[in-house]
Amino acid sequence: MPEQTPSRPLIAERRVVSDEWVLCDSAEARPEGQPGIVPLEAWQASDKGRDIAPWLASDTEMTAALAEELEVAPLVAIDFPKFTDGRGYSIARLLRERHGYTGQIRAVGDVLIDQLFYMSRCGFDAFSLREDQIVEDALNALSAFSRSYQPGTDDPEPLFRRRLREPGKTKADRAVA
């Protein structure tokens, strides 16, 4: 799991924010008086207060029982151990769509600008960028596309259904568009 350092920029709600949370390898490593993100097992063994949050490995199986347990978490961090590991997308989407999680879902680890738009469509609303990523480029990447063909957590309707509702177009116009 990646190390959290103060130089890692955090984007939440489509803007750069200061990060009060510390990513820790264990509950014992959490600095006194500071909110901490700890591995799932450590979070499950804790008192689950508002100052401790779970860190899910990319191979976490998102069960209904786990999702119910996560409802009290102030945020859920999902690890991307390498940028080619896409399992975190599925975890976020299941949390949002199937289990109705409404808290912050944060991408941590090997998070690259190229992925942000797609991560946001899967339910992520916070991104702890890799240190070498340019924050301004990351913010622009979140709105790189004005329309998406596929449904997502941000818009459950595919593009063809949205186009069918556009006023002033005939069926033939919509077929060509």
Reported as a pLDDT band with limits 50, 70 and 90, residue 4 is very low
Q: Specify if 159 maps to a domain.
A: yes
* Mean pLDDT to the nearest integer, 3-18: 77
Total count of domains within the chain: 2
Q: Look at residue 149 in the predicted model and tell me its pLDDT.
A: 63
Whether residue 92 is found in the same domain as residue 155? no
Q: Specify if 2 maps to a domain.
A: no
Which pLDDT tens digit goes with each residue over 45-55?
988 888 999 99
Q: Which domain holds residue 166?
A: 147-177
Question: What are all long-range contacts of 132-140, with beta carbons under 8 Å and residues at least 24 apart?
Answer: 133/9, 135/9, 135/11, 135/16, 137/113, 138/9, 138/11, 138/113, 139/11, 139/14, 139/15, 139/16
* Mean pLDDT to the nearest integer, 146-150: 69
pTM for the full model?
0.81
Of the listed ranges 50-59, 112-121, 131-140, 165-174, the least confidently predicted one is 165-174
Instruction: Tell me the two tokens of residue 80.
Output: 């991307």
Whether residue 90 is found in the same domain as residue 175? no
Q: Specify if 1 maps to a domain.
A: no
Which pLDDT tens digit goes with each residue over 73-87?
999 999 999 988 999
